[in-house]
Amino acid sequence: MSGNSVKILIIEDDKYIADFIALTLRQHDYACQTAASAAEGLFLYSANRPDIVLLDLGLPDRDGLEIIKEILDIKETPILIVSARGQEKEKVEALDAGADDYIAKPFHMGELMARIRVAQRKLARQSDTEESTYCLDNLKIDVLKRQVFVGEDEVHLTPLEYRLLIIMIRNRGRVLTHNFIAKEVWGYAETESAQTIRVVMANLRRKIEKESAKPRHILTEIGVGYRFADE
């Protein structure tokens, strides 16, 4: 899949990295702009309304979290965080603030391209109406009837397991933090939420994964949360 007319804004103060990413994305038919500061990035965002934003968390002028909030206040936009190694706390905060995904430096361009394709699929889904059936590999979910099938067999999920599954599927491809999941499920997050989620996830895996020790769908993002595999 190529970029076609997808517009990407790269907010990154390391000129070498920014230019390299832009060059590669242009070769894949994405339209790119680069900004070396938060101020320039927000200006270009307002002026050109890119479809996807790549955001370096370590910018000289402003905090990355503020930029995420400002962008999302203007428009729901997939934001991919580019973080330095060791920025674990910032990474989780950025995801909680509404960023979609993160990639740690140094990264391979192939990995970045894969993350961008996930963001593109999210864009495509946003323009669709709510899906009433999901078919993902051997997993089939009929939302209207609240039925879940693995292959031909119907699987019985508790209401909590079902909600968790639907939340993950609607956000598939994205990294979901424990806080995000807790807020979606219970409306608030507590310190015990991560433990409760872990238990429910283990049960879900046992029910929907062929091999729960080698999950295909529900992937753990260590120290962060979970990701429902998108491909």
Residues that bind Ca ion (CB under 5 A): 13, 56, 58
- For residue 220 the two structure tokens come to 């753990």
In contact, 82 and 105? CB cutoff 8 Å = yes
Q: Identify the burial level of 224 via C-beta atoms within 10 angstroms of its C-beta, where 0-12 means exposed, 13-18 middle and 19 or more buried.
A: middle
Nearer to Ca ion, 88 or 137 (CB): 88
Q: How far is the CB of 62 from Ca ion (least distance, A)?
A: 12
Please report which helix (H) or strand (E) contains residue 210, including its range. none
Q: Identify the burial level of 101 via C-beta atoms within 10 angstroms of its C-beta, where 0-12 means exposed, 13-18 middle and 19 or more buried.
A: buried
Nearer to Ca ion, 90 or 161 (CB): 90
Nearer to Ca ion, 58 or 98 (CB): 58
Q: Which residues pair with 30 in a beta bridge?
A: none
Q: How far is the CB of 105 from Ca ion (least distance, A)?
A: 9
Q: How far is the CB of 90 from Ca ion (least distance, A)?
A: 12
In the bound state, the residue with its beta carbon closest to Ca ion is 58
Q: How far is the CB of 40 from Ca ion (least distance, A)?
A: 13
Q: How far is the CB of 7 from Ca ion (least distance, A)?
A: 22
Nearer to Ca ion, 85 or 145 (CB): 85
Nearer to Ca ion, 3 or 64 (CB): 64
In this structure, the dihedral spanned by the alpha carbons of residues 149, 154, 155 and 159, taken in order and rounded to 10 degrees, is 90
- For residue 62 the two structure tokens come to 């402003």
Please report which helix (H) or strand (E) contains residue 165, including its range. helix 159-170
In this structure, the dihedral spanned by the alpha carbons of residues 5, 6, 12 and 15, taken in order and rounded to 10 degrees, is -30
In contact, 190 and 197? CB cutoff 8 Å = no
Nearer to Ca ion, 13 or 161 (CB): 13
The Cα–Cα gap between 145 and 124 comes to: 25
Q: How far is the CB of 159 from Ca ion (least distance, A)?
A: 44
In contact, 174 and 100? CB cutoff 8 Å = yes
